Amino acid sequence: MKQVIVTLLLTLSLTCFSQKWENLFNGKDFTGWIVRNGSAEYTIQDGAIVGHSKLKTPNTFLCTEKLYGDFILEMEFKVDEGLNSGIQFRSNSLQEYNKGRVHGYQYEIDPSPRAWSGGIYDEGRRGWIYPMDRNPESKTAFKAGEWNKVRIEALGIRMRTWLNGVPVADIIDDLNSTGFIGLQVHQIANPEQVGKTVQWKNIRICTENPSKHATKLKKEIYQANCIDNSISEREAREGWKLLWDGKTTDGWRGAKLTAFPEGGWKIENGMLKVLKSDGGESTNGGDIVTTKKYKNFELSVDFRITEGANSGIKYFVDTELNKGTGSSIGCEFQILDDQNHPDAKLGVKGNRTAGSLYDLIPAPAGKMFRKTEFNNARIVVNGNKVQHFLNHRLVVEYERNTQLWQALVNYSKYQVWPGFGNAVEGNILLQDHGDEVWFKSIKIKEL
């Protein structure tokens, strides 16, 4: 009798704490689903949803009618070679937002050599927020020509993804707390892609106490904090600090002043803006610099340009140099509208384009750049070794204090400044080049 009672108690205990799943697709018809935006076709074959690529249609989404907040979502997908796709979550279609365009988080399905499957893309809005260059070890998880297993955990402001049991992406963001689940058939431009398919099956979701079933990892992967002007718990543990607090001018001054400029700059809606003037170098409010100097560091800055804009982020700046007209002297991560500003065609082999080490080393022509959205600039300095990342992709790498470095300097506009770029430490600078440019989420980790 005692053994029977113990067995019953164990059974009840397991039942109370077992994970409850709900099937989102019944395997027979599209009850509970609706097609949005495009006109690609969805069919059902052998219990799976099949999306068929089609010319002359925008991205098409088969979306759940129901909205979901916190959940754990699992499914399997198989995709033809050469076709891009995705799985929307916490996504929406609102008439007041681009006339109903689907927007929100997307689990990427990418069978191309780029191998970004499982990364997180912000569809119809910010673009890539977790490209797989931030977690390259997981790029091998995708299985071409086979069924792949997806897991998405959306719990509060934290969202994580897995592919075939491998942890892929981890973000902190507060832009969407609820939305639908959607299956994307991506638009195509090549007739050879017509009829290619992407398939999904075994689609299920857990919405009952999902946090109790969150996955615990032995080793954490990189986490992207997408909340403006904030430091996450993980970032704080890793030593990150805000270089600009999003509200005041604390920690900054004019490059040629003892205080922050009285004009030419504006703080608005969590953004630090350099205002439009005459397009000249430091002719309005002037450059601004950190009050502190930095030696070895990782700097991250989100920036957005306006049409035809020019600006830059400088480091190893010595404000004692060039007290006359023009900008303060230092190594520069170039910010530029490559298509509409004439500086892009000057210099040598594109070394004045966006992401370049200005007038010294060009960023690649095929870099990822969002002209109408925010981009991320990241600069890593470790001794004499320096790297530029644009939207999380390495675009420039070099070493200072070498013969090669000096040869580059001697062939540039900086040849007139002895020891250019070789300083042990210096200020960090945001440039006023007479064009409106916006900055936010300026943070630094000293190494």
- CATH number of the domain to which 416 belongs: 2.60.120.560
What pLDDT score does 17 carry?
54
With respect to residue 205, please indicate whether it lies within any of the assigned structural domains. yes
- According to DSSP, the residues that pair with 165 across neighbouring strands are none
Residues 45 and 166 in one domain: yes
Distance CA 165, CA 170 (A): 14
> For residue 307, is pLDDT > 50?
yes
Write out the residue range of the structural domain in which residue 192 sits: 20-225
> DSSP string covering 22-84, please?
EES--SSS-TTEEEESS--EEEEETTEEEEE--SS---EEEEESS-BSSEEEEEEEEE-TT--
> For residue 6, is pLDDT > 50?
no
Instruction: Give me the amino acid identity at 198.
Output: V
What pLDDT score does 16 carry?
43
With respect to residue 204, please indicate whether it lies within any of the assigned structural domains. yes
What pLDDT score does 7 carry?
42
> For residue 379, is pLDDT > 70?
yes
Number of domains present in the structure of the chain: 2
Residues 248 and 133 in one domain: no
Residues 247 and 193 in one domain: no
Residues 211 and 280 in one domain: no
Residues 204 and 319 in one domain: no
Among residues 200, 225, 250, which one ends one of the domains?
Answer: 225
Residues 289 and 395 in one domain: yes
With respect to residue 4, please indicate whether it lies within any of the assigned structural domains. no
With respect to residue 12, please indicate whether it lies within any of the assigned structural domains. no
Apex 390 CA angle, 152 and 261, nearest 5 = 115
Q: Return mean pLDDT, the chain.
A: 94
Apex 297 CA angle, 385 and 286, nearest 5 = 100
- Dihedral over Cα of 357, 367, 167, 24: its sign: positive
> DSSP string covering 218-279, please?
SS----EE-STT---HHHHHHTEEESS-SSS-TTEEETTSSS--SSSEEEETTEEEEPP-SS
With respect to residue 9, please indicate whether it lies within any of the assigned structural domains. no
CA 58 to chain centre: 23
Mean pLDDT on 186-197: 92
> For residue 278, is pLDDT > 90?
no
Mean pLDDT on 183-200: 94
> For residue 9, is pLDDT > 50?
no
Please name which of 119, 110, 37 lies closest in space to residue 77, comparing C-alpha atoms. Answer: 110
Cβ(42)–Cβ(49) below 8 Å: yes
Residues 91 and 209 in one domain: yes
With pLDDT > 70 as the criterion, what percentage of the chain qualifies? 96
> For residue 323, is pLDDT > 90?
no
Residues 416 and 290 in one domain: yes
Among residues 225, 259, 280, which one ends one of the domains?
Answer: 225
Which of 64-73, 159-168, 186-195 is least confident?
186-195
With respect to residue 432, please indicate whether it lies within any of the assigned structural domains. yes
What pLDDT score does 326 carry?
82
Please name which of 298, 309, 288 lies closest in space to residue 354, comparing C-alpha atoms. Answer: 309
What pLDDT score does 12 carry?
38
With respect to residue 13, please indicate whether it lies within any of the assigned structural domains. no
Q: Could you report how far apart the first and last alpha carbons of the chain are, in Å? A: 65
What pLDDT score does 222 carry?
97
Residues 435 and 319 in one domain: yes
What pLDDT score does 279 carry?
80
Structure-block tokens of residue 436 = 């409106």
Residues 276 and 397 in one domain: yes
Residues 172 and 265 in one domain: no
Among residues 183, 201, 225, which one ends one of the domains?
Answer: 225
Residues 331 and 399 in one domain: yes
